[in-house]
Amino acid sequence: MTPRVSVCVPTRDQAEYLGAALASVLREDVDGGLEVLVHDDASTDDTAQVVAATGDPRLRYRRHPAPLGVAANRNSLLAQARGEYVAWLDSDDVRRPGTLARQVALLHAHPHVVLAHGGHGVIDADGRELPDWPAPLARDAIEPPAAAFANLLATNEMTTSTVVVRRSAHAAAGPFATTIGASSTDWEMWLRIALRGAVAYSAEPVADYRQHARTISRATAAGGERLRCNVRVVRRVLREERLRIAHPGRARAAAEAALAAQALLHAGDAYTRGDRAAALDAIALADRFTAKAGTRATLDRLCAATARGDDGACLRETRTALAALAEALDGTRFGARLRRVSAPDADWDAQLARAGAAVARATPADAVIAAIAKWDPAILDRCGRTGVNFPDRALLPDGYPRDGATAVAHLEALRARRGVTHVVVPQVSGWWLERYPELARRLGTPLWRDADCAIFDVGAAR
């Protein structure tokens, strides 16, 4: 009997997570049944044993003798899928109960919809919940092809493990592109499918995305490879699908503005990690994709600020450039996000300025400050003390500690390596002390607290 849904699970060396991923789909009850295809891209761990241990006849396993790469492995899965619908699941993520049946029912009820995706939670390597990422939409929606494509061209809003596609739409779009690189091949596919029909979004989380040290996105993000893959995606789609794009010139201009913005966001990320060279490379890439003279002048100033390590000027010039790029992306959700990121926040700025003044009053002149303020330099600029951001991404590149013990260990590393004596937590960052109670206990009773901040003396050994 032909199954109604084929769940495709590409994997490579993810045995420790694969069992949970498979269990999450094998428990699904879908009218017409399902098959689960696992194609193993030459793993060197216990992947085969994990699959065998499931003992479920609906599961079909294939191991490639040599690595093909993620795009070719997905094509291998597509070639074997028999279902009317194809659901994608990365082998380190998990499906939430009942969501696959709901997405299939949605596709069945709306024949013009070719792809359904949805919200997702974020979990760590051990399955613990992490703060949610911003969702593209606040409620369920079905977008016509033009709107779906325009928003998706600006930035990838789809998490692969939430995606269910009509197999006929996959056939019409063709195989995953194998020339993009290690990242973004899923985005390129979703763009091509979006040009062929409506796209549905479910606001209720459909899956949990696992954030850990060996994800493809993490491996390709820090060095800029994902950004370079994104450039290849945009160029390929605009070239190969030009006859399906209603306004190719307008689409190209928006796509280039989006790439410039992505490059600037990457530059900021690299800068806060202490990698000025990578930040300068990303700014140069942004410059290639913007034709606005005003933006170009801003990028020149940003380069100079980055080279000299001027945190405040980097923040100001980045905001100015992103605001200009948001205009070229008007009407897209990414453009709206850029406007929010670049817009001045008077309350935030005033609170950090008052917190900096409080630090100047409450701490000795030789104090070394760690400020928990989303890498905004305002407190350190205002307080007249030497200091560092907390977390210091040169020591903790991911930015946010995985748990309270890691947060405390990072504080001790800052004390030992940077000489930190005091920690300041502005009111807007107070959630840190709730999210990491071990850190709150280590900080102890504040030596200063007012409506704007709490300041802790951590200089003495405990």
The amino acid present at 329, given as its one-letter code, is L
Q: What mean pLDDT value characterizes the chain?
A: 94
266 exposed, middle or buried (CB, 10 Å; 0-12, 13-18, 19+)?
buried
Q: What angle do CA 296, 299, 301 make, to 5 degrees?
A: 115
Backbone angles phi, psi at 270, to 5 degrees: -65, -40
What is the DSSP secondary structure assignment for residue 134, as one 8-state letter?
P
Higher pLDDT: 130 or 96? It is: 96
pLDDT at 462 over 50: no
Predicted TM-score of the model (pTM):
0.91
pLDDT digits (tens, 9 = 90+) for 83-128: 999 999 999 999 999 999 999 999 999 999 999 999 999 988 888 8
- Give the pLDDT confidence score for residue 220 in this predicted structure: 55
Q: CA–CA separation, 379 vs 389, rounded Å?
A: 10
- Give the pLDDT confidence score for residue 409 in this predicted structure: 96
Where is mean pLDDT largest: 4-18, 215-229, 395-409? 4-18
pLDDT at 258 over 70: yes
pLDDT digits (tens, 9 = 90+) for 334-377: 999 999 999 989 999 999 999 999 999 999 999 999 999 999 99
pLDDT-based confidence at residue 292 (cuts at 50, 70, 90): low
pLDDT digits (tens, 9 = 90+) for 275-288: 999 999 999 999 99
What is the DSSP secondary structure assignment for residue 14, as one 8-state letter?
-
pLDDT at 436 over 90: yes
- Give the pLDDT confidence score for residue 217 in this predicted structure: 59
What is the DSSP secondary structure assignment for residue 309, as one 8-state letter?
T
* Residue pair 383/360 in contact by the 8 Å Cβ criterion: yes
pLDDT at 461 over 60: no
- Give the pLDDT confidence score for residue 147 in this predicted structure: 97
Q: CA–CA separation, 104 vs 85, rounded Å?
A: 7
Average pLDDT of the residues in 410-435: 95
pLDDT at 219 over 60: no
Q: CA separation (Å) from 79 to 8, 39, 217, 352, 430?
A: 11, 11, 25, 56, 51
pLDDT digits (tens, 9 = 90+) for 135-179: 999 999 999 999 999 999 999 999 999 999 999 999 999 999 999
- Give the pLDDT confidence score for residue 459 in this predicted structure: 85
CB atoms closer than 10 angstroms to residue 106: 17
E strand segments, 248-324 = none
Average pLDDT of the residues in 318-325: 95
pLDDT-based confidence at residue 403 (cuts at 50, 70, 90): confident
Alpha helices in 397-452 (DSSP H): 404-418, 431-435, 437-443
